[in-house]
Chains A and B, each alone.
Chain A
Amino acid sequence: GAGVSQSPSNKVTEKGKDVELRCDPISGHTALYWYRQSLGQGLEFLIYFQGNSAPDKSGLPSDRFSAERTGGSVSTLTIQRTQQEDSAVYLCASSLEVLVSYEQYFGPGTRLTVT
């Protein structure tokens, strides 16, 4: 079946512009996660959704970052007024539920470059 998909695969934007990153989870997965992978910080958690609600937003780096999920499916991560330090690969993952033993399936990522 279809895996987690993300779009765009690559995004180059100028400093100060807003960007939207999209994630389509595996059908039927109620949990959705956003992570960021960068050279300096490794893989870091940003936010997760159980259904449409986000119980834990502690990983969002600043108030320029926001995310939403609608219909228990597609999620959008928005970064406002992008900065060069936002350059990274943004990964989305989904799992059946938010339980420790359930595998998270990762998408291919969106590579964001802020110039």
Chain B
Amino acid sequence: GDSVTQMEGPVTLSEEAFLTINCTYTATGYPSLFWYVQYPGEGLQLLLKATKADDKGSNKGFEATYRKETTSFHLEKGSVQVSDSAVYFCALSAGAGGTSYGKLTFGQGTILTVHP
């Protein structure tokens, strides 16, 4: 079935450091890919998405590019802030015919802590 593999955490960085969180996926069909973020004490919210190969999703300085050839959707940010401390989830939703159609399949989540 469809699955998402996310880099193990936790990740601890100093403010203004470069961030990469790796995400790879397995899916049939043509999935859409998402990064969700969960700030402390808050609910899940969409950070960015990409719906087809080579699309780049971006928001709040974060970027991720849908790479079909490597089945990856790595999250990057050039300069992290303390306020970026949160749990980040990579997810996919497959197209018709995929086992994840109509639902999100999530990675395990990566805890990011940014120190001043």
Q: Which residues of A contact B (CB under 8 A)?
A: 31, 33, 35, 42-45, 48, 50, 55-56, 59, 91, 93, 98, 100-101, 103-109
Contact sample, A vs B, 26 pairs, CB 8 Å cutoff: A33-B103, A42-B107, A43-B91, A43-B106, A43-B109, A45-B103, A50-B102, A56-B102, A56-B103, A59-B103, A91-B43, A93-B104, A98-B101, A100-B31, A100-B101, A101-B32, A101-B49, A101-B51, A103-B49, A104-B104, A105-B46, A106-B43, A106-B44, A107-B43, A108-B42, A109-B43
Shortest distance between the CB of B46 and any CB in chain A (Å): 5
Q: Using Cβ atoms and an 8 Å threshold, which residues of chain B touch A33?
A: 103-104
What is the predominant secondary structure among interface residues of chain A facing chain B? strand
Of B45, B89, B93, the contact of A100 (CB 8 Å cutoff): B93
Known pairs A42-B109, A101-B32; A48 contacts B102 (CB<8 A): yes
* Cα–Cα distance between A34 and B69 once the two chains are bound (Å): 32
Docked-complex contact B106 and A42, CB < 8 angstroms: yes
CB distance from A92 to the nearest CB of B (A): 10
B109 touches A106 (CB 8 A): no
In residues 77-116 of chain B, which contact A (Cβ within 8 Å)?
89, 91, 93-95, 100-109
B51 proximity list for chain A (CB < 8 A): 100-101
Q: Distance (Å) between the CB of A94 and the closest chain B CB?
A: 12
Q: In the complex, A87 Cα to B95 Cα: how many Å?
A: 32
Q: Which 10 pairs across A and B sit closest by C-beta, in order of nearness?
A: A43-B106, A106-B44, A100-B32, A98-B102, A45-B103, A100-B93, A108-B43, A101-B51, A42-B108, A106-B43
**A31 shortest CB reach to chain B, Å:** 7
* Among A48, A55, A56, A101: residue with most chain B CB under 10 A: A101
B32 touches A45 (CB 8 A): no
